[in-house]
Structure 1
Amino acid sequence: MNVSSNTAVILASSSEARATVLKNVGLPFEQIAPKVDEEELKHSMHAAGATAMETAVSLAELKALKISKAFPEHLVIGADQMLECGSIWFDKPVDMEHARAHLTALRGKTHYLSNGICVAKSSTVIWHHTDQAALTMRHFTDEFLTRYLEQAGEDILGSVGAYHLEGLGAQLFRKIDGDFFSIMGLPLLPLLDFLRGHKVVIT
């Protein structure tokens, strides 16, 4: 893929939500999905006793470094998010039935979204940040869940929790503690501070 020399930032992610966050604040960037084996890294880190946060950071770095090798002159943003409830790590649902099972398992409980974000340049991580949000789902009925899944549709399959907090997903929750942008998958304000320091964003 060709990247314009006038674009200083690359988002190493296939996430539409993360791209939307950056677009909404007017940041010029290119988006490239890195081809990395996320599941293998998650499996190996879980087996080694790593925390969800440590895994999120490692995944973010893996993505950023993968793209940075091909585009060393650019600032490459890598980000990842892990959902943990109890001792269980949740992955993105593969279909709507899987999404139903996820939400049924999370119903009435507090789960945690651990976010790792980093920036790489010239195949070196030059900045990273971590953030965690706690989200408590309410005891919604099976009838509500069925209606929610019908209305939300397959777009929610791109979210690890099978919800979009900015939309219908807000109705799933009783309490939320954490940064909105982090829940979206991209801790935006610390990232903008970093980019201002590198003259990418006007101060």
Structure 2
Amino acid sequence: MTEYPALLLASKSESRRAMLGAAGIPFESWPADVDERALEAAMEDAEPAEVAQALAAAKAAAISRDHPGRLVLGSDSLVEVDGRRFDKPASRIEAAEHLRFFSGKTMRLHSAAALAVDGRIEWIGGDMASLRVRALSDEFIEGYLRAEWPAVAGCVGVFRIEGRGVQLFDAIIGDQFTVLGMPLLQVLAALRDREAIAA
């Protein structure tokens, strides 16, 4: 049986680690130190999908430069509501502000992934899911954050779809893995194409 070198995941995201683990992909986690806010500011006029892909690529490239010859996976997600991009909430107060803004609107969640070797991007992909946020009362928002904070502090969109975050929505259109934060089916195809996992 062929032995494949473990993939390096340039992320500390629990959901991304869980996805790869459940899919049976051997990997090691090496979170990337990338100034995401600076990169986003430099791409202020870019489309959200482009920004998500650029962030994923920056993370993959950063880790791959420190691990010669290793295949590195970077991933990122970005939320857009009414043409406005949202980052992870910096505080519980900001999380509540985000949720009040999302209430009754459609959230577009852009998830991207990139593969890099020796600082060079080998592949990049992305997907988008639409999530319709129901009308959220202040009472619900307060109770939700009491239960979910600080677990959702690191979640763009202030939700974990595999937890209480599912209560934010009344409709979801898109791939479940994209909603979880990574276009996993595209990633698996790219890994097979590069013979990094069995075909």
Is TM more than 0.5 here? yes
Distance in structure 1 (CA, Å) of the matches to 2:126 and 2:11: 17
| Residue equivalent to 2:38 | 40
Return the letter of the residue paired with 2:126. T
| Residue equivalent to 1:137 | 133
Structure 1 residue 190 corresponds to structure 2 residue 170: no
Q: Is the 8 A contact 1:72 1:121 kept in 2?
A: yes
Alignment of 1:48-127 (within 5 A): 49-127=45-123
Distance in structure 2 (CA, Å) of the matches to 1:8 and 1:198: 13
Distance in structure 2 (CA, Å) of the matches to 1:200 and 1:191: 11
| Residue equivalent to 2:5 | 7
Return the letter of the residue paired with 2:144. Y
Return the letter of the residue paired with 2:194. H
Structure 2 residue runs without a partner (length 5+): none
Instruction: State the secondary structure of the residue aligned to 1:65.
Output: helix
Q: Tell me by how many angstroms 1:24 deviates.
A: 1.6
Q: Is the 8 A contact 2:5 2:196 kept in 1?
A: no
Distance in structure 2 (CA, Å) of the matches to 1:193 and 1:51: 25
Distance in structure 1 (CA, Å) of the matches to 2:127 and 2:25: 21
Q: Is the 8 A contact 2:64 2:117 kept in 1?
A: yes
Structure 1 residue runs without a partner (length 5+): none
Over aligned residue pairs, what C-alpha RMSD do you find? 1.5
TM-score, normalization by structure 2: 0.93
Q: Tell me by how many angstroms 1:6 deviates.
A: 6.5
TM-score, normalization by structure 1: 0.92
Q: Tell me by how many angstroms 1:157 deviates.
A: 0.6
Cα displacement string for residues 68-89 of structure 1 (whole angstroms, at most 9, x for unaligned residues) = 1111211110111111111211
Return the letter of the residue paired with 1:147. G
Cα displacement string for residues 22-76 of structure 1 (whole angstroms, at most 9, x for unaligned residues) = 1122211111111111111101100xx2111111111111111111111121111
Q: Is the 8 A contact 1:69 1:122 kept in 2?
A: yes
Q: Is the 8 A contact 2:11 2:29 kept in 1?
A: yes
Distance in structure 2 (CA, Å) of the matches to 1:159 and 1:104: 16
Distance in structure 2 (CA, Å) of the matches to 1:149 and 1:123: 39
Q: Is the 8 A contact 1:7 1:30 kept in 2?
A: no
Aligned pairs, how many?
197
Q: Tell me by how many angstroms 1:130 deviates.
A: 1.4
Return the letter of the residue paired with 2:51. T
Return the letter of the residue paired with 1:180. Q
